[in-house]
Chains A and B, each alone.
Chain A
Amino acid sequence: MTSNTLAFPASGVGALRQHPLVERYAPVATIVLALVAIWYVAAVLMNLSLVRDGFEREETPYTVSDLIAGTMSAERPLLPAPHQVIEAFTDSVFGYAPTAPRSLVYHSAVTLSATLLGFALGALLGIALALLIVHSRVLEKSLLPWIICSQMVPILALAPIFVVVLGAIGLHGLLPKSIISAYLCFFPITIGMVKGFTSPDPMQLDLMRTWSATPRQVLSKLRWPSAVPYLFASLKVAISISLIGAIVAELPTGAEAGIGARLLAGSYYGQTVQIWSALLASAVLASGLIALVGLSERIVGRQMGTRP
């Protein structure tokens, strides 16, 4: 309790303002409301000419309220209104069986499997590279420039090459997508883990030396545990990148399923509502994945005695 509430015990607004739920969620809710409001205004402005042309073509008389109502329910709007997106999203998530080709759950699952496999591959690769770099100066000098270069090439240019090359050696479907996803997400993990493996205090390293610990013991008992906070920080970045990688990989593969395929199909047929609901699905997926990493971080942190 702050002195503020003691000074104004009768003030209802002040009490409400300091309610823990309000304190926690009010800032987020305010931003969301503001964004939705801006979105509606933008939807009206952007779709206005489209709707007016429609009315004029059919030569029906219209009022301003007709116009505004039209901008929010157009079939193929330039910018769909939020409620249209939500409606299409819930419809395609709950309206079909999860295995139906029109179900967003189905497409999300396809992308999710490529994401998770790519994330796992990328994490392993990233940690392995970090270990090599930390243990050898020569490898640091020879590997690091290539690792950095690998991230300078736009993935949109690389993805088709990957698909063609991997297709030529008989790899189709899930694996090429996962490899593209892994290619994108190993980088933050390598950088984070190099930092993490070198983070132990010099004193702690000296201690290990006074006990004449083997390099393997130094790794398992000091460098690994010290790197854990860095690991989770980089995993959080990596998991959202690997989702993006999986979606991008679906574009040139001409995939028939997956969030990327939905985006592609939506843009072919001008189905803006479909594009936006696919985007919403990927946002939901990404938040879920990050939340999962955050949860495992908390569980591991509790076991490692992290200060609450």
Chain B
Amino acid sequence: MPNSLKRAYPDVTLRPDDRAPFLTSVERVRMSNAVDAKIQAEAQSESAPQRLAVDVRDISLTFETGDGKVEALSNINLQIAEGEFVSFIGPSGCGKTTMLRVIADLQQPTSGTLLVNGVSAEQARLERRYGYVFQAPALFPWRTIEKNLKLPLEIMGFSDSEQRQRAARYLALVNLTGFERKFPWQLSGGMQQRVSIARALSFDPALLLMDEPFGALDEIVRDHLNEQLLQLWDKTGKTVLFVTHSIPEAVFLSTRIVVMSPRPGRIIDVIDCNFPRGRSLEIRETPEFLKIAQRVRTGLRAGHSYDE
């Protein structure tokens, strides 16, 4: 009953579900190989940690500001399975970026527990389990495109030949072969953002955290990059957490959409969104697409108080 208008209030915990098709098949293979019934039982148990990319339980975050306390996140519960593409959508100040930063261990929650890849967020960061793409490309202007791509690899101690290979591979992945020796200012904004995505992928993290990566780009470039990102997700099978302001973008890209609302920042709806893989931009005209977009819009409106 994915399309029924159920309201997921903050205290509703979403279970790891069997919606991610390829993951299910992986699981199936594993289970068929397993002779031990114990493993089977473990896999079926509700909190099998290896299946969850991100496990958020009761996370709250309160900022101390000059004017008093601001509740940026309030009792967030969210389970994201490996291979999912989850979008966070909501008005400014609803805590979606903070949510991502907490998962990335760039900010510490005031209370609650958080597991990334089965370990604490800090551990996941230290193990370099995720790639982060910011709103701006944040390229290092004194480095050529190739050297920008190599930067995380240098830091992580990859060998020179490995660095070269990976830089070439991931530049090709974002269609930027031939720009190795250019400096960032010689590229357009869209190209720069593609470089920053390639950079986040270059060390092959299983989890990709993207904070409004296409927010500053024009509609056409954004459409194009959306398609590319979707293909990339198909190819690599990564888990993607994607913050956006745009309803069509969220519906087009995601397997699940988390609708958030401000003051305090909380989840007000979680919407399943299972368009077939390999979808094209044309699905945005279909009734199913519009229906989901309508539900997202309703959620956003409900969470938004206009009387302020």
Residue from A207, A212, A228 in contact with B142 in the complex, judged by beta carbons closer than 8 Å: A228
Within 8 A of A (CB), among B79-99: none
Q: Does B132 contact A (CB under 8 A)?
A: yes
> A209, A212, A217: which has the most chain B beta carbons within 10 Å?
A212
Residues 250-308 (chain A) with a chain B CB within 8 angstroms: 304-307
- Residues of B226-271 at the interface with A, using a CB-CB cut-off of 8 Å, are none
Q: A221-B151, A307-B185 are in contact. Are A210 and B104 (CB under 8 A)?
A: yes
Docked CA distance A206–B209 (Å)? 13
Q: Does B128 contact A211, Cβ atoms closer than 8 Å? A: yes
Q: Does A87 contact B (CB under 8 A)?
A: no
From B133-141, B169-177, B273-281, B292-300, the one touching the partner chain is B133-141
**Interface locus among B19-27, B43-51, B152-160:** B152-160
B108-159: which residues lie under 8 A (CB-CB) from chain A? 125-126, 128, 130-132, 134-136, 138, 140-144, 151-152, 154-156
Within the assembled complex, what's the spacing in Å between the Cα atoms of A102 and B152? 60
Q: Kindly count the residue-residue contacts between A and B in the assembled complex, taking CB atoms under 8 Å apart.
A: 53
Q: Once the chains are docked, how many angstroms separate the CA of A225 from the CA of B106?
A: 23
Is the Cβ of B138 less than 8 Å from the Cβ of A203? yes
B183 within 8 A of A: yes
Contacts of B131 in A (CB 8 A): 210
Q: Are B126 and A212 in contact (CB under 8 A)?
A: yes
Name the residue on A nearest B125 (C-beta): A212
Are the C-beta atoms of A212 and B128 separated by less than 8 Å? yes
Cα of A206 to Cα of B196 in the assembled complex, Å: 14
A217 to B153, CA, bound (A): 12
**In-complex Cβ contact of B140 among A204, A211, A213, A307 (8 A):** A204
Evaluate contact between B106 and A206: CB separation under 8 angstroms: yes
Rounded to whole angstroms, the CA-CA distance of A305 and B145 in the bound complex is 11
Q: How many residues of B contact A (CB 8 A)?
A: 27
Bound complex: CA of A69 vs CA of B154, how far in Å? 73
CA distance A210 to B151 in the complex (A): 12
Pair B132/A210 contact, Cβ less than 8 Å: yes
Q: Smallest CB–CB gap between B268 and chain A, Å?
A: 28
Chain B residue at smallest Cβ distance from A300: B142
Q: Find chain A residues with CB under 8 A from B141 CB.
A: 304-305
Chain A: which residue is nearest B132 at the CB level?
A: A210
Choice from A206, A213, A306, A307 contacting B155 with Cβ under 8 Å = A213
Q: Which residues of B contact A212 (CB under 8 A)?
A: 125-126, 128
Contact B138 A204 (CB under 8 A): yes
**Beta-carbon contact of B142 and A206 below 8 Å:** no
Partner of A210, one of B130, B136, B142, B184: B130
> In whole Å, how far is A182's beta carbon from the nearest beta carbon of chain B?
29
**Given A211-B128, A307-B185; A203-B144 close (CB under 8 Å):** no
Q: Which residues of B contact A225 (CB under 8 A)?
A: 140, 142
CA distance A211 to B205 in the complex (A): 11
Separation of A210 and B100 alpha carbons in the complex (Å): 12
The answer on a CB contact under 8 Å between B183 and A207 is no
What residues of A have a CB within 8 angstroms of the CB of B156 in the complex?
211
Q: Which residues in chain A, 207-229, are within 8 Å of chain B measured between CB atoms?
A: 207-213, 217, 221-222, 225, 228
Let me know if A201 and B125 touch, CB within 8 A: no
Which of A201, A207, A213, A307 has the most C-beta atoms of chain B within 10 angstroms of its own C-beta?
Answer: A207
Is the pair A207, B154 in contact by a Cβ cutoff of 8 Å? no
Among B105, B130, B136, B142, point to the contact of A203 (Cβ < 8 A): B136
A304 to chain B: which residues have CB within 8 Å? Answer: 141-142
Q: Among the interface residues A208, A213, A304, A305, which one has the most CB atoms of the partner chain B within 10 A?
A: A305
* Chain A residue contacts of B104, Cβ below 8 A: 210
| Contact of A222 with B140 in the complex, beta carbons under 8 Å | yes
Contacts of A306 in B (CB 8 A): 142
- If A211-B128, A305-B183, A307-B185 touch, does A217 touch B155 (CB 8 Å cutoff)? yes
A305 contact set on B, CB distance < 8 A: 141-144, 183-185
With A212-B128, A305-B144 in contact, do A206 and B183 touch (Cβ < 8 Å)?
Answer: no
Rounded to whole Å, the gap between the CB of B175 and the closest CB of chain A is 22
Contact A211 B155 (CB under 8 A): yes
- Give complex CA distance A212, B155 in Å: 8
Distance in angstroms between the alpha carbons of A88 and B151 in the assembled complex: 58
**Closest-CB distance, A49 to chain B (whole angstroms):** 62
Partner of A207, one of B134, B135, B143, B203: B134
Nearest-Cβ distance from residue A133 to partner chain B, whole angstroms:
23
Q: A209–B106 contact, CB under 8 A? A: yes
Q: Are B138 and A207 closer than 8 Å at their CB atoms?
A: yes
- Is the Cβ of A221 less than 8 Å from the Cβ of B138? no
Residues of A within 8 A of B140 (CB): 204, 221-222, 225
A304 to B136 alpha-carbon distance, docked (Å): 21
Chain B residues closer than 8 Å to A211, beta-carbon distance:
128, 151-152, 155-156, 203
Residues of A within 8 A of B142 (CB): 225, 228, 304-306
Least CB separation from B127: chain A residue: A212
Q: Which of A208, A209, A210, A305 has the most CB of B within 10 A?
A: A210
**Other A-B pairs beyond A207-B138, A211-B152, A305-B142, 4, CB < 8 Å:** A209-B106, A210-B131, A221-B140, A225-B142
What are the nearest 9 A-B pairs in CB distance?
A305-B183, A304-B142, A203-B138, A210-B132, A211-B152, A213-B155, A225-B142, A211-B155, A212-B126
Could you show 5 A-B contacts with beta carbons less than 8 Å apart?
A203-B136, A209-B106, A211-B155, A212-B126, A225-B140
Residues of A that sit less than 8 Å from B by CB = 201, 203-204, 206-213, 217, 221-222, 225, 228, 304-307
